[in-house]
Structure formats: C-alpha cells, structure tokens
Amino acid sequence: MKNFRELKVWEKSHLLALDIYKMTAGFPKEEQYGLTSQIRRAAVSIGLNIAEGCGRGSDSDFKRFLYFSFGSACEVEYCLLLVHDLNYLLSDNYSEIQNQLEEIKKMLSSFIEKLNRKS
C-alpha cells in the first residue's frame, strides 16, 4: 500500500482542486449546478483516483486508477476551455490553471509509463 500524500502528482492535483474551487466561486449563480459543479467534481476526481489507486493491492490496479485520473484531467481541461470561452474566466487565470493541469497530465502519463515498464 502506498501513501498518496507522498506523491508529488497527488500534491499538485490537490492544489489544482483548491484553485478550481477558488476560481469557480465567482461563476454565475445559474452555473452552480452546471459547470461549477462539473469542473469541481472533475478536479477533485483527479486526486481522489490517485488516492484510491494507492490503496489498491497491485500496480495494475493502481495504474487503472491513474488512467481514471488522467481522464478526469482531460475533463477539467475541456471545462476550462468552455468557461474561458464563456468569459467566466480571465485569460491570465485560464493560462495559470491550464499550465498546472498540463504538468499534472505529464506526471500522470510518466507514472503510467513507468508502471507499464514494470509489468
């Protein structure tokens, strides 16, 4: 069993989720149950799946949850594009969050490849 708190990719995912929550606090009220909820759930899902994968018994199970995290990161990426295009998010904020997300996706991809080489 691995401790997810020791993984840099989990730490960065946690910080991203916190930033997403702060960012979405200013979204229009009519988006509370729409885009606000969707992007928050997707952002939280990245770290949740890393944590859950760490609690699994094998590297293959862990890798499967890393794939789920990667999928959630892609979902956040699209939501970010959408909220930016809807002018809910300034370009500077969009770029900052997008850079964080790209780093997380690269880290997840590298981690998955490492586990693929192990098996």
In three-state secondary structure terms, 67 is helix
Question: Per the confidence metrics, is the pTM higher than 0.85?
Answer: yes
State residue 57's pLDDT score. 81
Q: How far apart are CA 75 and CA 17, in angstroms?
A: 13
> Could you give the domains of the chain?
4-118 (1.20.1440.60)
Q: Please write the tens of the pLDDT for every residue from 73-102.
A: 999 999 999 999 999 998 899 999 999 999
State residue 118's pLDDT score. 85
Q: Please write the tens of the pLDDT for every residue from 23-69.
A: 999 999 999 999 999 999 999 999 999 999 999 989 999 999 999 99
- Tell me: pLDDT of 72 over 70: yes
Q: What is the DSSP letter of 2?
A: -
- In single-letter form, the type of residue at position 47 comes to G
Q: How far apart are CA 77 and CA 92, in angstroms?
A: 15
